[in-house]
Chain A
Amino acid sequence: MTDQITTDPSKPSQRMRAGSMTITVLPWVAGAIALAVMPAIFTSNSALTIMNQMWITVVFALAYNMLLGQGGMLSFGHAVYAGVGGFACMHIMNMSDFFAAMPLPVLPIFGGLFGMGMAMIVGSFSTRNAGTVFAMISLGVGELIAACSVIIVAFFGGEEGISGDRTYAMPFFGNEFLQQIDVYYLTSFWVLVSAILMYLWSRTPVGRMANAVRDNPERAEFLGYSARWVRFYSFTASGFFAGVAGGLFAINYEILTEENLNTASSGVILLVTFLGGVGFFFGPIIGAIAFTLLQTVLSLQTELWAFYAGVLFLATVMFFPGGLAGLLMMHVPVFKLGHARSLVMPYLKTLLPAAIGLLGLAALVEMTFHFRHAALGDDEMTVFWTTFDTHTILPWIIAGVVTLVGLGIARATAPSLKEAWSAANTAPPVTTAKGGAA
């Protein structure tokens, strides 16, 4: 086997290993305020639903990145732990006596404990290896449990799943969580707490050793740490927080089905985390927010949203494995040098036409799809608020021209953007700076 060249951590756009970045108190306070203020800005019920889903995905994605970014373990079956946690919470909700004596905000802890228990069982044999073997075991176990969910009806409820009612819990300071907004604050509280805990975990010796084992297991063993046990601890902790996410899901939706733990949802969480960027602690948070928005907005507009998500995902893997967080962090040196303003115009010149070209391409894709699959006689379609007949030539020409011109301009201006980028990243020579140059 050839020697392993991994992504260059000094290039944020390619960075795939999460380091131990220091986050001061300020971002946490800002995050808490944002969480508290959000429902005042977006007051509609659907916005609340979307935000709830977003925060649950944030917890899950952060838990997933404890494995992928911090521990270098690629799991294709992580939805299992969230799902098991969620199912356990659902069963607790249905235990009327026990549930009536317990305030609802405590419930996610039980989800976490069950997720952790499941992770301990599976982790006992799956964490022996990292890399490909671990990935395959996670896939196999994920499939096994997803298949079991149809057979073990007592726990997983078969095809229709398990449902319950959160309002039977002991009132929490008189609150019975009847309203969506109450659930929002419960979820927000747990998002903040779990994010802080996961961050602190990455700062503990175990968390730091996880990084060491990911980068060089052999060397870590020579230092006296068992690579296997370090992986096991990361896996267990990740299972706990995944279970918390499952518990939050149970509280929010009051139903869990096989869909919550099958391979498709495991794939989605990989997509979310990777899109956000696994190289930074906050990457998955960005990923979860961006993906949930993309999903809710795009899926209302087009049937093909999964196709676009797939294309975006592949493009991310191929061209900037650092994800969105990597792209953001790429600009930190520019800001530090104070050259950010010189990049605005080149960016506009290249990215705006590129975006228009891509939209044109999307229109072509939509038209092709409509042309092939629409019912017979249904010739009209609406793209970008214009309705037209896909069986005439004119719309095709317009979309084609927009695509070609947009991408053409982007291509033509790309070299000057590159120049501006390297100029913005160059520090002024020290001597002139001392001499007080303008």
Chain B
Amino acid sequence: MELILVNLIDGLVTGLLLFMLSAGLTLIFSMMGVLNFAHASFYMLGAYFAYQISIALGFWMGLLLAPIIVGVLGAGVERYGLRRVHQYGHVPELIFTFGLALLIEELVQFIWGKNQMPYNVPEILNFTAFSIAGNSIPAFKIFMIFVSVGIFVGLLFVLTKTRVGMIIQAALSYPRTVEALGHNVPLIFMGVFGVGTALAGLAGVIAGPVLGTFPGMAFVLGSIVFVTIVIGGLGSLWGALVASLLIGWLTTFAKSYNVRMEDILNGIGFSTPENMGESALRDLWTITSPQIADILPYILMVLILIFRPAGLFGKRHQ
């Protein structure tokens, strides 16, 4: 029972982290109809910038400044790169963001090298918040939960209750009409892109000390984020939230409970074969749940795509 609680908290942290990335990604998608493959790269940039700033000015300035820098960079990419490619159509846009992701990874290696950066949890948060049956929960995890929940509430408030949010929502669905009403729609697009990447950057700032700050960090999380928004339904903010939490809990529980395929197969009436040495199915029998925890999201995605192609919360279109 206690272990379940610990895993719930761990899964929540992972899920909310995923959500900070997928929220921006899904907003950008519903806005421009293009998937930003470089989104996780901005997450990585956030972590690296925060590390560099934290050397000089400390963690908190990094938390404040790094997302802003990343957001400005993102807005610049939209203004000078994506908008130019936009005239060619969707496929070149996708290819552009894909190339950008490659380039950012190379650039990070160029500047900071290939090794992991010593970007650590700040002293003030480096203590045990509380412990559940001997399992200590670090304060930084609680801090991560609060930051992500705060961001989510703030985003929801801005999008649904303020005038700016109303205009953004209108611009997402009817850009031409909003433009005719006198709003600068390209500027709104640039702003949303900037805010989305800034959110990714913020996720990087708070994930960097826990998950490690290294050139492969974008790649590790990147594809999971795409899986998340496919499962949640492209363009749906609530879908992104539900799918993020689902994936967070799914992978955490699969990792901490060692469920063996052999037991499951025995349970439903198959007996373990005597000699598995050369059998082609030997890998099926030896699979354990921690082993496949990382690919569970992909399996889930394939299943969703087969049985509910629009995703959990997606609208059926076309």
Which A residues form the contact surface with B (CB < 8 A)? Answer: 1-2, 4-7, 14, 16, 68, 72, 74, 76, 125-126, 128-129, 131-133, 135-137, 139-141, 143-144, 147-148, 151-155, 263, 267, 270-271, 274, 304, 306-307, 310-311, 313-314, 317-318, 321, 365, 369, 372-373
List of A residues within 8 angstroms of B87 by Cβ:
5
List of B residues within 8 angstroms of A143 by Cβ:
223, 227, 295, 298
- Asked whether A129 lies within 8 Å of B95 as measured between CB atoms, the reply is no
Min distance, Cβ B127 to any Cβ of chain A, angstroms: 36
- Asked whether A151 lies within 8 Å of B34 as measured between CB atoms, the reply is no
Q: How far is the CA of A304 from the CA of B113 in the complex (A)?
A: 11
- How many residues of B sit at the interface, in one of the four size bands? 35 or more
List of B residues within 8 angstroms of A1 by Cβ:
33
- Asked whether B89 lies within 8 Å of A317 as measured between CB atoms, the reply is no
In the A-B complex, the 6 residue pairs with the closest CB atoms: A144-B298, A6-B89, A310-B103, A307-B106, A147-B295, A313-B99
Q: How far is the CA of A382 from the CA of B201 in the complex (A)?
A: 37
- Asked whether A4 lies within 8 Å of B110 as measured between CB atoms, the reply is no
Q: A125-B305, A129-B318 are in contact. Are A152 and B283 (CB under 8 A)?
A: yes
- Asked whether A267 lies within 8 Å of B98 as measured between CB atoms, the reply is yes
- Asked whether A72 lies within 8 Å of B227 as measured between CB atoms, the reply is no
- Asked whether B226 lies within 8 Å of A4 as measured between CB atoms, the reply is no
Which B residues form the contact surface with A (CB < 8 A)? Answer: 29, 33-35, 81, 84-85, 87-92, 94-96, 98-100, 102-103, 106-107, 109-111, 113, 175-176, 219, 223, 226-227, 230, 234, 280-283, 287, 291-292, 294-295, 298-299, 301-302, 305-306, 309, 318
B113's partner among A141, A317, A373 (CB-CB below 8 A) is A373
Q: A151-B287, A313-B99 are in contact. Are A132 and B234 (CB under 8 A)?
A: yes
B298's partner among A129, A140, A318 (CB-CB below 8 A) is A140
Q: A6-B88, A151-B292 are in contact. Are A314 and B96 (CB under 8 A)?
A: yes
- Asked whether A16 lies within 8 Å of B230 as measured between CB atoms, the reply is no
- Asked whether A131 lies within 8 Å of B90 as measured between CB atoms, the reply is yes
- Asked whether A154 lies within 8 Å of B88 as measured between CB atoms, the reply is no
B88's partner among A126, A270, A310, A321 (CB-CB below 8 A) is A321
B89's partner among A16, A68, A135 (CB-CB below 8 A) is A16
Q: How far is the CA of A16 from the CA of B93 in the complex (A)?
A: 12
List of B residues within 8 angstroms of A5 by Cβ:
87-89
- Asked whether B103 lies within 8 Å of A136 as measured between CB atoms, the reply is no
- Can you sample 20 A-B contacts with CB below 8 Å? A76-B98, A125-B306, A131-B90, A132-B35, A132-B90, A132-B94, A136-B35, A136-B226, A139-B226, A140-B223, A140-B226, A141-B298, A143-B223, A143-B295, A144-B295, A151-B291, A153-B283, A307-B106, A314-B81, A372-B111
- Asked whether A74 lies within 8 Å of B102 as measured between CB atoms, the reply is no
Query: Which residue of chain B is the closest to A305 with respect to CB atoms?
Result: B106
Q: How far is the CA of A372 from the CA of B107 in the complex (A)?
A: 13
Min distance, Cβ B114 to any Cβ of chain A, angstroms: 9
- Asked whether A16 lies within 8 Å of B33 as measured between CB atoms, the reply is no
List of A residues within 8 angstroms of B234 by Cβ:
132-133
Query: Which residue of chain A is the closest to B227 with respect to CB atoms?
Result: A140
Q: How far is the CA of A151 from the CA of B298 in the complex (A)?
A: 14
A16's partner among B91, B106, B294, B302 (CB-CB below 8 A) is B91
Question: Which of B102, B111, B113 is the most central at the interface, judged by chain A CB atoms within 10 Å of its CB?
Answer: B102
List of A residues within 8 angstroms of B226 by Cβ:
136, 139-140
Min distance, Cβ A95 to any Cβ of chain B, angstroms: 13
